[in-house]
Amino acid sequence: MAKLYFYYASMNAGKSTNLLQADFNYRERGMETMLFTAVLDDRFARGTITSRIGLEAPATPFDATTDIAACVADRLAERPLACVLVDEAQFLSAGQVAQLARICDAMDVPVLAYGLRTDFQGRLFEGSARLLAIADTLVEIKSVCVCGRKATMNLRVDTQGRAIAEGAQTEIGGNDRYIALCRRHFAEALEA
């Protein structure tokens, strides 16, 4: 029975690197995979999963209107798939997470979804909330705060490095816009 996995972490924990390593492992053994990434993530090349350490692979871009299950069914009609891998899974809708579950349950293809758990205000993303609710396996990828504790929060900062507490939930950025912190340092930064 195929399973739905959710690998979650704060920023800069290596989620995309882990995804690309898993993809490599399948492909090295001659197994076909299908990769998806959010259209919103335009930090690198659109339709490409790119890690900060330089690994990359082409992926099918998804937005709120993408029927991921239909894309996978179309591919399965052509050839077998060993695994579906989804980067930036926090940007999935609840309906798309249900599609991922259907890919596992009805098509018998495992799905590995990677994404942030919470936004810069400590609130769950829609896709992450649904994955936390229905995934068969939850795996936290560890990141480290400046104090050495586990980083679980994503602090959004302005160009001077000051904490931002309000704004749109989604603002794409990297180290120039976000800092991964433990809960204590996150709260302290917002109070400053």
Question: What does the pLDDT look like over 143-188, one tens digit per residue?
Answer: 999 999 999 998 888 888 787 777 667 666 555 678 899 999 999 9
> Which of the residues 32, 56, 88, 140 is marked catalytic?
88
32: pLDDT strictly greater than 60: yes
pLDDT bucket at 104, cuts 50 / 70 / 90: very high
Cα angle, residue 45 at apex, residues 97 and 22 outer, rounded to 5°: 50
88 is catalytic: yes
Q: What is the mean pLDDT of the chain?
A: 91
Based on the number of CB atoms within 10 Å of its own CB, is 76 exposed (0-12), middle (13-18) or buried (19 or more)? middle
pLDDT bucket at 113, cuts 50 / 70 / 90: very high
Question: pTM value?
Answer: 0.90
Token reading at 75: 């591919």
pLDDT bucket at 121, cuts 50 / 70 / 90: confident
Domains of the chain: 4-142 (3.40.50.300)
Exposure on the CB side of residue 14, measured as CA atoms within 13 A: 11
How would you classify residue 48: left for phi > 0, otherwise alpha for psi between -120 and 50, otherwise beta? beta
